[in-house]
């Protein structure tokens, strides 16, 4: 099948800008399954050009700009363009050139889903730019993003917004989106980075049956607490974890200590994703009083749940939404 446009025509058109939200995965007991989209965003502009590869990065992780073909978003664009040709039966191949402009606000390797935002932004941009982009539907986008990221819990809310429960079934990764009834959450972000790969390496191969059973019950309770807007006392119990946080504590002792301290005072606090950011479910009034107590060394981000997943921002072409 031939596409209705070729890369030269795409290059003559406008670039696409995608806004992708930060995400917090696990939320305590929901390891590799639960995720929340947050109102902290990366913006990625992608243009097809007549040749070469140019990458500009402003903000977080500016050092990744020099990676050329190894830049995560470039790799994702290439994978998505290849998959689109396969799915649509077209043979466009790779575009002659690409230009990326990244405005990064999500801190890297802190547990706020920066890699998922980059992956999802790349997929949404590729779907918009490729003339047969509609062939990559939402289910295929989730499958591709999960394949690249390795687990679905950050990419699902980054694609869908809100609160998501993600799992891998017989047909691959899937997710369900819920509208959480919670107000503000606050991210306490330390300077120290922790790569997800390193944090995953600290997990044991097996866990005691009692711990697995406790987490299953708490994860179920957490969904009810978030969906129904249940009170802080329920949320405190519902965010208890026994499957990952303690095993990872040696790699982020300050974060583990902060979570324990806040929980000891009745505040529902968890490690965000693979850490070391601490995510707190609480009102803004409480955060103000907590901030003084938490001390220096933490960047404090009061955030809301992002209602939408990654979306195209400026579409001057009037083409696909």
Ligand X SMILES: N[C@@H](CCO)C(=O)O
Ligand Y SMILES: Nc1ncnc2c1ncn2[C@@H]1O[C@H](COP(=O)(O)OP(=O)(O)OP(=O)(O)O)[C@@H](O)[C@H]1O
Annotated binding-site positions for ATP = 107-117
Does 106 help bind ligand X (rule: CB under 6 A)? no
CB of 24 to ligand X, least distance (A): 9
Task: Choose among 169, 184, 170, 158: nearest CA to 290.
Answer: 184
* Residue from the set 102, 136, 158, 165 that interacts with ligand Y by CB under 6 A: 102
Which residue pairs from 218-223 have beta carbons closer than 8 angstroms and sit at least 24 positions apart in sequence?
218/28, 218/29, 219/29, 219/30, 219/33, 219/34, 222/27, 222/28, 222/29, 222/30, 222/34, 223/34, 223/165, 223/178
Q: Give Cβ neighbours of residue 197 (< 8 Å, ≥ 6 apart).
A: none
Alpha-carbon distance of 234 to 134, in angstroms, equals 43
**Per-residue binding letters, 9-48, with ligand Y (x by CB under 6 A):** ----------------x----------------x------
**Per-residue binding letters, 184-203, with ligand Y (x by CB under 6 A):** -----------xx-------
Does 241 help bind ligand X (rule: CB under 6 A)? no
Considering only the stretches 121-129, 194-202, 215-223, 289-297, report the one whose residues sit in contact with ligand X under the rule CB under 6 A.
194-202
Task: Choose among 195, 183, 210, 208: nearest CA to 281.
Answer: 183
* Residue from the set 10, 34, 36, 73 that interacts with ligand Y by CB under 6 A: 73
Does 113 help bind ligand Y (rule: CB under 6 A)? yes
* Cis peptide bond upstream of 276, omega within 30: yes
Which CB sits closer to ligand Y, 28 or 113?
A: 113
Which one of ligand X, ligand Y, none is in contact with 294 (Cβ closer than 5 to 8 A by kind)?
none
Report the first-to-last Cα separation within the chain, whole angstroms: 23
**Interface with ligand X by CB under 6 A: which residues?**
25-26, 31-32, 151, 153-154, 196, 199-200, 244, 273-274
């Amino acid at each position: 099948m031939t596409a209705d446009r070729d890369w030269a025509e795409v290059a003559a058109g406008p670039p696409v800008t995608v806004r992708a939200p930060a995400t917090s995965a696990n939320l305590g007991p929901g390891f590799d399954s639960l995720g929340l989209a947050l109102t902290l965003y990366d913006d990625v502009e992608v243009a097809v050009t007549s040749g070469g590869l140019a990458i500009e990065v402003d903000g977080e992780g500016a050092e990744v700009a020099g990676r050329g073909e190894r830049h995560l978003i470039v790799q994702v664009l290439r994978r998505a363009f290849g998959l689109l040709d396969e799915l649509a039966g077209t043979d466009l191949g790779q575009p002659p050139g690409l230009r990326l402009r990244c405005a990064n606000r999500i801190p890297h390797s802190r547990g706020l889903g920066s890699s998922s935002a980059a992956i999802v932004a790349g997929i949404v941009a590729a779907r918009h730019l490729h003339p047969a982009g509609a062939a990559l539907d939402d289910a295929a986008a989730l499958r591709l993003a999960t394949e690249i990221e390795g687990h679905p819990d950050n990419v699902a809310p980054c694609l869908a917004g809100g609160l998501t429960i993600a799992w891998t079934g017989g047909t691959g990764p899937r997710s369900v989106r819920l509208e959480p009834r919670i107000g503000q959450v606050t991210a306490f972000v330390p300077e120290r980075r922790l790569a997800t790969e390193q944090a995953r390496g600290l997990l044991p191969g097996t866990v005691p049956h009692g711990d697995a059973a406790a987490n299953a019950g708490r994860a179920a309770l957490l969904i009810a607490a978030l969906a129904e807007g249940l009170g802080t006392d329920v949320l405190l119990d519902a965010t208890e974890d026994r499957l990952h946080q303690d095993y990872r504590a040696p790699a982020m002792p300050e974060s583990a200590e902060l979570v324990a301290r806040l929980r000891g005072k009745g505040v529902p606090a968890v490690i965000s994703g693979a850490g070391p950011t601490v995510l707190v479910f609480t009102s803004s009034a409480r955060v103000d009083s907590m901030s003084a107590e938490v001390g220096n060394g933490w960047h404090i981000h009061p955030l809301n749940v992002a209602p939408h997943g990654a979306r195209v921002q400026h579409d001057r072409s009037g083409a696909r939404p």
